[in-house]
Amino acid sequence: MEADDLAEIRAHLLRVRDEVLAESERAYAASQSLGKDGVPDIGDMSSNSYNQQVLMSLSETQRSRVRDIDAALERMDKGVYGLCMRCEEEIPARRMEVRPFSRYCVDCKAEVEKFGE
């Protein structure tokens, strides 16, 4: 992969990482404010509990995405970005465009998900 392409991808990954972290901070602030707007009734408490659970699961998804992005940035630093971590073949450019933090080619991803490597 060309140095200019890698620089562009790195900038994109860093932007996405910043967006995910900002979204996570907003979700955390929203979860902290739930139920603090007066005297809640049983319906409010149930709704607030559900909303907090949704926001917390969203945070796990966000943490996973940040870890994926950080791993992609680390692979760039090591010079192995865009290579499948399983078969070591180059991951197709289209897959890397759609999912720039991909670790595996499509075939290996299917195998990893099937057998849980």
Q: What is the mean pLDDT of residues 34-40?
A: 54
Site of tokens 């949704």: 54
43 vs 17: CA distance, rounded Å: 36
Q: What is the mean pLDDT of residues 87-93?
A: 95
Which range among 24-33, 36-45, 84-93 has the greatest average pLDDT? 84-93
Q: Which CATH number fits domain 1-81: 1.20.120.910, 1.10.3720.10, 3.40.50.720, 3.40.50.1370?
A: 1.20.120.910
Ranges for all domains in the chain classified under CATH 1.20.120.910: 1-81
User: With contact defined as beta carbons under 8 Å apart, do 101 and 74 qualify?
Assistant: no
Task: Tell me the CA end-to-end span of the chain in Å, nearest whole number.
Answer: 27
- Nearest to 114, CA basis, from 79, 86, 92: 86
Cα dihedral sign for 78, 93, 11, 73? negative
Q: Which of 7-11, 64-68, 73-77 is predicted least confidently?
A: 64-68
pLDDT of residue 106: 94
Tokens standing for residue 24: 């996570």
65 vs 63: CA distance, rounded Å: 5
Q: Which of 5-19, 29-43, 50-64, 98-112 is predicted least confidently?
A: 29-43
Higher pLDDT, 69 or 58: 69
